[in-house]
Amino acid sequence: MSPATSPPPQLRRITRSSLARFAYQSDATSSAQGNATTPQITDIEDAISGDGTTDTTTRKRKRAVVSASIKREAKSATIKKEKGAAEEEEEKSAPTPNRRARKPARKIIDPDTKTAIVAPPSDWEEMYDLVKEMRLTGPAKDAAVDTMGCERLALPTASPRDQRLHTLVALMLSSQTKDTTNAVAMRRLQTELPSHAPEAGEDVAPVGLNLENLLAVDPAKLNELIWIVGFHNNKTKYLKQTAEILRDTWGGDIPDTIAGLTSLPGVGPKMAHLCLSSAWGRTEGIGVDVHVHRITNLWGWQQPASKTPEETRLALQSWLPRDRWREINWLLVGFGQKVCLPVGRRCGECELGLRGLCKAADRGKVNQGRKVREETASLKVEQVKTDGDDEDGLVLKEEYIKREDEDVNALDMVFSEPPKEEVGVKEEDSPKQPPSKRQTRRRRGLI
């Protein structure tokens, strides 16, 4: 190609719309169209002009005409849809009328005295009464604390002074230890602690847990007797030090004040309050252990949640009536041992969860418990109806007596005499069956 020759013109891309003009049309269709503005093109090459450009004549798209009535209907449907969505949002945001508003213990102003007081949590009395009912007759009865609690481990045959010592020692051993394990260790101390050497003119000292034997025992022997409890090495030291303090400072008896009890090694506020109420019969505070601390926080009685048992004690004492300070420990410890366990809570058997009073209840377990309760109630109703209907009861009783008579007759036939052949029945058709073990035992009067 010579340089003087001009380059060929660039061809434009042929689109589907331009090719549509070359679609086949019948004679009838072409004649019906009449005069067309677009010239008749018989070949695709004719669509390309001599300068390389395509014909720019295109067809316009036909648009459907939407009537005004259709537009109004569509607009009204859109408005209704928007109104429906707004109503649904309002229903979701509105509080349900049956839902209870739970409020923790909070400070309010007394309208009469104009002073700040602590208002108790909402529904606390109902929750307290339901837990007490469960502890007495429900799923939380017969807990370990009822028979092996620290206040129940003192020997009734011991002297009052020794009983108070037993209570103090049981509380000191109970830290980080289950009640069942603590009871075993206490029983060993009460039966195996060696007696001290008698002084001149004294009789042989008895074996068992008392201050004199605790002072005289070798630490290794004491550690051997209580090795089953948690942190027994530290508790051995605490018991020996406590025995010396009781002898030198308190005249051989345990202290009768909270300050004196907390001054002993290994004794905290919880042990001090429990010991004072159990040993001396005085309640000056709430004994808060892990169960009381955990359960009251699960219920939301403290807001924000207390971090230590001591914070829980102070929070509870600010609003709980004083006549329940001693009982609440027994109540919640047994409840935590039987129903509201640290792991694997039995929410399906708890009245608080079934009645919607516990905000920490497992909803799956609660729903399952409600189904079981409904099924049990329906079975009881059916049983009452069956027992109350005279006709049905008579029929059942008659059928039972009839079946019992048939069994007795069959046994008589087997053991008394061979069965008589019935008319029209062959012996092959009704073979004789040997007696079963149950029939033999019934015949001999063993059943």
294, two tokens:
């955990």
CA angle (59 as vertex; 56, 65 as ends), nearest 5: 150
Q: Answer whether 212's CB lies under 8 Å from 202's CB.
A: no
Cα separation, 250 vs 244, in Å, equals: 10
389, two tokens:
């209907």
17, two tokens:
């719309």
E strands, 138-282, are none
Cα separation, 25 vs 40, in Å, equals: 11
Q: Which of 183, 201, 333 shows the shortest CA–CA distance to 270?
A: 333
Q: Phi/psi of residue 135, each to 5°?
A: -70, -30
Please name the residues in contact with 185: beta carbons below 8 A apart, sequence gap of 6 or more.
173, 177, 225, 226, 228, 229
Q: Which of 174, 168, 172 shows the shortest CA–CA distance to 145?
A: 174
Is residue 270 annotated as part of the catalytic site, yes or no? yes
Neighbours of 12 (CB within 10 A): 12
CA angle (12 as vertex; 57, 59 as ends), nearest 5: 20
Among residues 132, 235, 270, 338, the one annotated as catalytic is 270
Q: Which of 281, 251, 296, 287 shows the shortest CA–CA distance to 267?
A: 287
CA angle (374 as vertex; 368, 375 as ends), nearest 5: 90
Q: What is the 3-state secondary structure (H, E, C) of 35-79?
A: CCCCCCCCCHHHHECCCCCECCCCCCCCCCCCCHHHHHHHHHHHH
Q: Which of 168, 156, 157 shows the shortest CA–CA distance to 280?
A: 168
Please name the residues in contact with 280: beta carbons below 8 A apart, sequence gap of 6 or more.
164, 256
Please name the amino acid found at residue 2: S
- Residues marked active site are found at 270
